[in-house]
Structure 1
Amino acid sequence: MKYRLICTAVAFALLSGMNYLLAEATRPAGLKSIGGQWFVNEGPPPVYYYQDGEQFVDLFSYHIKDSNKDGIPNLAVSHDERCLIIESQGYPNHPTAVFPNSDNPNSILVQKFEFRLPLVPQKSDTITSVPMGPIGMALNGVVFFNPFERGGKNAVEGYAEEWLDSCCGHPQQHGVYHYHKYPSCVKSPFKDDGKQHSPIIGFAWDGYPVYGPYESSGVKAMDLSGENALDVCNGHTDKLRGYHYHVTPGRFPYILGGYAGVVEISNNHGLNRAGEGPITDSTEPGERLDPVITELRPGTVAAGKKHTIRIELDPKAARRHPLPKGAPTWVQIGPFESLKTARQGNIVTVEIDVPVDSPEGVLLDCHMEFGSKTPVVFKKNNALRVSE
């Protein structure tokens, strides 16, 4: 995986209170400012860079390549005087579960999205609620959704929990694959090892970036307090980056609680009737998904090595779908696909290769499939952690 990364010294201007803006920085030759923190190397082909703190980062080149083999790039990026324009197929460029399956009747379909990100985000006097449908976009062009299922209940946990694969996504009825929570399989330009501020993983429709979970070494943004704490939108301001959002693994609203900035309504017409104010948690107590996968051992693995994982199953917990006999046809833990899979009784043994640039410190989900056509699927959230 190759990214263009150019470092620079950055000066900053303190405006008032906790509001900061990046001042003009000395940028490398060949980059042209197009507004805000966005720059372009006009090429050909043009390559777009974002000024992320002290670095100019090419966020999209890795994700442009054709992942679904239809001859069309995943992404095409351009701009006008007001917005960065992203044409996206909305197709994941990481492994996913087989869809349809026993818990989701929908297939993943190629989309024809055009999204517009304001080049110069503007804070709003009021918070705009995040609507149903796309609320933002990951760097790979797959969309973020709010935490709710169609009935308005929490789709991430509780009695209304929906079946998300180990990359935290699934398709809805129109074939749109989407994330309801932190998508640990989305590659970003830097290793997110929990030793510094997380990298950007996407953008909200108000143009502000969405970062991974970490604020600094060993400190998740969701654990901050005082004036640095995340607001109800899951955002805050710092000297290097200005205002930005963080994902909050395991804590509502997971990605966005609302928009702090002025939204680009063309990205989702539901924004016309979204209303004001942050969303509120609607988790219903209880458990909907069958807790067949009970434990993974070891529960923590080191990056840069291969590991053998024992997965314990409880057949009695299979209320909706009986646990099939034999070994699973597919096991995935976060972004890691099983290289070898075997089963003896109620123990499944898998071998995974954990790359050195794997996300560290965040709990990853595990999903398991039996059968190749409309497989029977099981899932365990927060099953494995990667460490040094």
Structure 2
Amino acid sequence: MLVCSVSFFPVGSTVNSTGSSTGAQEISRSAPSASIDQDQVDAIGGYWYVSKSEPKIYYYRDAGQWLDLFSYHCKDSNKDGIPNMEISHDQEHLIIKSQGYPNHPTAIFPNSDNPNEIRVQDFTFRFPLVPRKSDTITRLPRGPIGMSLNGVVFFNPFEMEGRNAVAGYDEVWLDSCCGHPQQTGVYHYHKYPTCVKSPFIDEGKSHSPILGIAFDGFPLYGPYESDGSMAMELKGPEALDACNGHSDPERGYHYHVTPNRFPYILGGYAGVVEPSNNREFRRPAGRTATGTIEDNTEPGDKYAKIITAVRPGNLVRGESHEIQIDFDPSAARRPIREGVPSWVQIGPYEAQSIERRGDTIVAKVSIPKDASIGVWLDCHIEFGTQLRPVVIKKNDVVRVTVD
């Protein structure tokens, strides 16, 4: 089982027997490459290493840095006495046992537009330590398609009836952390989960950090390719392929999320998938679906938008902001009660105070100094704290800036 701490090691430091850094302070994700004493870790395959001492810490070699990806997230977030995740490995796989329970704020579920509740899961996923490209693209299955670093699973872009769950669907169904539970209580993401602190800050000034792993073993990164440039904007040989992936000399093949652009997370698997992770992979030979997915959103497919404007559009990191949210109660499918909302959240940031001035909600939100910048965040509002509060939401309304 992992020790619940996060370690970043700069050049010249070594790892002692407890996995902590000697002769160096903790540094950010954008720090230079680290130097780990090879006598303290074992290579287990590909970019993966594990400490020889107990408790085991798993490191990923990412563009010259040694990263402890999971310790930040393994804590017991639902207070049941069981860690969110337990990590082990065999000769071919990194094995992650996960409760699939979010360690960030969520909407209240059930609510007016989602009758399901979030439930603790008992997932065991096996990720190839040495991913291999496949001659054919494996089609994304229903259900889990990969896992974020906090143990919550990714789903493909479609909801149960086959429609686009992000663009062609009522925006209420995803909370402002870009997730929701399905019928068996599995909380999952259909698009870039802005509330997952990687735990590395994404400054938008260099290649984004890792967010998770696909079921073919290839890593999934945030949206940025370089300073101010998102991977989805690349052209030519460096452009993302239909699976949302590409290669570079430092990382090899890897995927990127594409904010506000289909397929959002993955378009298909470019690598050989691990069949134990989803029953659709275990179909008889020749019957596993192949090819990339296609966007089926049609004009007019969206419901009327209740939130009409959010001001300001930019929120400076490290400051508190008064956010004004205009809404049209007549556009709601269910009556919106009079009075102040019970909850307002912008991306992962909850409002400290809330007022209502007619059809305008005024919320005070503080943006931490280590907030990731540049990516658009969703606005989520709840009226009432009863079993199923009335929820209104709007996607991609504000973004965090540095000044």
TM over 0.5: yes
Deviation of 1:290 after TM superposition, in Å, equals 4.3
2:241 corresponds in structure 1 to 231
Given candidates 250, 255, 259, the residue that maps to 2:260 is: 250
**In 2, are the aligned partners of 1:154 and 1:161 still within 8 Å (CA)?**
no
Pair 296,161 (structure 1): closer, same or farther in 2 beyond 3 Å? closer
Q: Does 1:385 align with 2:399?
A: yes
SS at match of 2:9: strand
2:384 corresponds in structure 1 to 371
1:75 corresponds in structure 2 to 85
Structure 2 matches for 1:80-119, cutoff 5 A? 80-119=90-129
1:357 corresponds in structure 2 to 370
Deviation of 1:316 after TM superposition, in Å, equals 2.0
2:22 corresponds in structure 1 to none
Equivalent AA in structure 1 for residue 53 of structure 2: G
Any unmatched runs of 5+ in structure 1? 10-24
**In 2, are the aligned partners of 1:156 and 1:162 still within 8 Å (CA)?**
no
**In 2, are the aligned partners of 1:35 and 1:119 still within 8 Å (CA)?**
yes
Q: Does 1:265 align with 2:275?
A: yes
1:4 corresponds in structure 2 to 7
SS at match of 1:266: helix
SS at match of 1:5: coil
Q: Percent identity?
A: 61
Deviation of 1:288 after TM superposition, in Å, equals 3.8
Find the aligned partners of 2:53 and 2:112 in 1 and give their Cα distance: 47
1:219 corresponds in structure 2 to 229
SS at match of 2:173: coil
Pair 132,161 (structure 1): closer, same or farther in 2 beyond 3 Å? farther
Structure 2 matches for 1:298-313, cutoff 5 A? 298-313=312-327
Structure 2 matches for 1:5-154, cutoff 5 A? 5-7=8-10, 27-29=36-38, 30-154=40-164
**In 1, are the aligned partners of 2:327 and 2:359 still within 8 Å (CA)?**
yes
Equivalent AA in structure 1 for residue 291 of structure 2: G
2:309 corresponds in structure 1 to 295
Q: Of the two structures, which has the highest relative contact order with CA contacts closer than 8 Å and spacing of 6 or more?
A: 1
Find the aligned partners of 2:157 and 2:119 in 1 and give their Cα distance: 21
SS at match of 1:6: coil
2:23 corresponds in structure 1 to none
**In 2, are the aligned partners of 1:142 and 1:177 still within 8 Å (CA)?**
yes
**In 2, are the aligned partners of 1:88 and 1:141 still within 8 Å (CA)?**
yes
Deviation of 1:79 after TM superposition, in Å, equals 0.5
Given candidates 347, 351, 376, the residue that maps to 2:360 is: 347
The Cα offsets for residues 265-305 of structure 1, whole Å up to 9 and x where unpaired, read as 10111123541111111112225444111111111011111
TM-score, reference length from structure 1:
0.93
Equivalent AA in structure 2 for residue 66 of structure 1: D
Find the aligned partners of 2:240 and 2:225 in 1 and give their Cα distance: 10
Pair 8,228 (structure 1): closer, same or farther in 2 beyond 3 Å? farther
Give the alignment's Cα RMSD to 1 decimal: 1.6
1:13 corresponds in structure 2 to none
Structure 2 matches for 1:307-326, cutoff 5 A? 307-318=321-332, 320-326=333-339
Pair 338,40 (structure 1): closer, same or farther in 2 beyond 3 Å? same
**In 1, are the aligned partners of 2:381 and 2:391 still within 8 Å (CA)?**
yes
**In 1, are the aligned partners of 2:204 and 2:224 still within 8 Å (CA)?**
yes
Any unmatched runs of 5+ in structure 2? 13-33
Deviation of 1:324 after TM superposition, in Å, equals 1.5
Equivalent AA in structure 2 for residue 4 of structure 1: S
SS at match of 1:237: strand
Find the aligned partners of 1:42 and 1:233 in 2 and give their Cα distance: 36
1:188 corresponds in structure 2 to 198
Find the aligned partners of 1:58 and 1:26 in 2 and give their Cα distance: 13
Equivalent AA in structure 1 for residue 337 of structure 2: P
Q: Which deviates the most, 75-84 or 277-286?
A: 277-286
The Cα offsets for residues 56-101 of structure 1, whole Å up to 9 and x where unpaired, read as 1000001000000000000000011110000000000000000000
The Cα offsets for residues 348-374 of structure 1, whole Å up to 9 and x where unpaired, read as 111111111112111000110011121
SS at match of 1:215: strand
SS at match of 2:73: helix
1:14 corresponds in structure 2 to none
TM-score, reference length from structure 2:
0.89
Pair 235,83 (structure 1): closer, same or farther in 2 beyond 3 Å? same
SS at match of 1:304: coil
**In 2, are the aligned partners of 1:8 and 1:56 still within 8 Å (CA)?**
no
**In 2, are the aligned partners of 1:32 and 1:40 still within 8 Å (CA)?**
yes
**In 1, are the aligned partners of 2:219 and 2:254 still within 8 Å (CA)?**
yes
Q: Alignment length, in residue pairs?
A: 372
Equivalent AA in structure 1 for residue 261 of structure 2: R
Q: Does 1:284 align with 2:298?
A: yes
Find the aligned partners of 1:227 and 1:70 in 2 and give their Cα distance: 48
